[in-house]
Structure 1
Amino acid sequence: MARTFAFAQSWSVAAPAADVAAVLVDLEWYPRWWPEVRAVAKLGPDTAWVRCRSVLPYTLDLVLDAVSRTPPVVEVAISGDLDGFARFTLVPEDGGTRLDFREEVEVGGALALASYVGRPVLTWNHARMMAGCRAGLSAELRRSSAAGR
């Protein structure tokens, strides 16, 4: 019994698309700037094991496989506690880059059961995770720019 979730949102950052892509494809550094990403281990050139935890007391174990590392699309296939994909499409705009985020995943097991009554809470939890991404990514891009990277 699998349950499907789809998420989409857009936001802008004050940095060129190439700089945004450089941060997004460097999975090993996510814990430095994305608070909900608790641990990352590189499993291969295009694969990483990732542990995520937002507000709810549940840690996701995921394996991310790079599908595209080349702007305008940065995308990973997701397996583990979730199965699906997450994609950022980077759109240059005046003063920076718009990130169009799309994620589609299936959940099984306890998460699927919880989603029958707790779907709004799980959706809220994901929104909190993505708020951490937005704030952390913007801060990381400012640090990189100030350091001249």
Structure 2
Amino acid sequence: MDWNHYRFRTLWSLPAPPATVYAALERPEDYPRWWPQVRTVTRLDDETGVITIRSLLPYAMTFTARTAGRDPAAGILAVDMTGDIEGWARWTVTPAGAGALVRYDQEVDVRKPLLRRLAVPGRPVFRANHRLMMRAGRRGLLRYLRAV
């Protein structure tokens, strides 16, 4: 087992139209406005940005995200990531009743040296930290969608 390799899947049920949710998710430069753990997003061009995240644990991760796919009709936004984490992430937004179901998939390898050294004892804590970050993201997006 590679202790520095992670696969995540998170589902968010949101009481907003899928197109509205998709529009919010396709603007990562706005994430810091509604997602507390997304500290900064700096656009480099239309397809690439540098993102710094920090959740409950006292470490930040910075990575470059480059668009790998965008399909509004299918509700898919995908990026490739390099930096402190390397791999990919994908949002999939689909209709669910009167709202939307958002699925977030991510597969990454941790490259940040400190986290690599703590891989074995820290793995359960790192996974819990990710869950907390995703939970806060959902709450923040709900508030944001109600305000727009």
Task: Give 4+ residue runs of structure 1 displaced > 2 Å after superposition.
Answer: 68-71
Which of 127, 131, 134 is equivalent to 1:130? 134
* Residues matched between the structures, number: 144
Paired letter, 1:74: L
Distance in 2 separating the partners of 1:105 and 1:111? 13
Alpha-carbon distance in structure 1 between the residues aligned to 2:18 and 2:117? 39
CA distance in 1, matches of 2:94, 2:70: 15
2:107 alignment counterpart: 104
Q: What TM-score, normalized by structure 1, do the two folds share?
A: 0.91
Q: How does 1:16-35 map to 2 (within 5 A)?
A: 16-35=17-36
Residue aligning to 2:122: 118
CA deviation after TM superposition for structure 1 residue 70, in Å: 2.3
Please say which of residues 1-10 and 60-69 is displaced more in the overlay. Answer: 1-10
1:68 corresponds in structure 2 to 69
Cα RMSD between the aligned structures?
1.4
Q: Gaps (5+ residues) in structure 2?
A: none
**Cα deviation, residue 68, structure 1:** 2.2
Unmatched runs of 5 consecutive residues or more in structure 1: 145-149
Percent identity over the alignment?
38
Query: SS where residue 126 of structure 2 aligns?
Result: helix
Q: 1:2, CA displacement in angstroms?
A: 7.2
Give the one of 77, 80, 85 matched to 1:77. Answer: 80
* SS of corresponding position for 1:98: strand
Letter in 1 for 2:69: S
Normalising by the residue count of structure 2, what TM-score does the alignment of the two structures yield? 0.92
Q: Which amino acid aligns with 2:138?
A: R
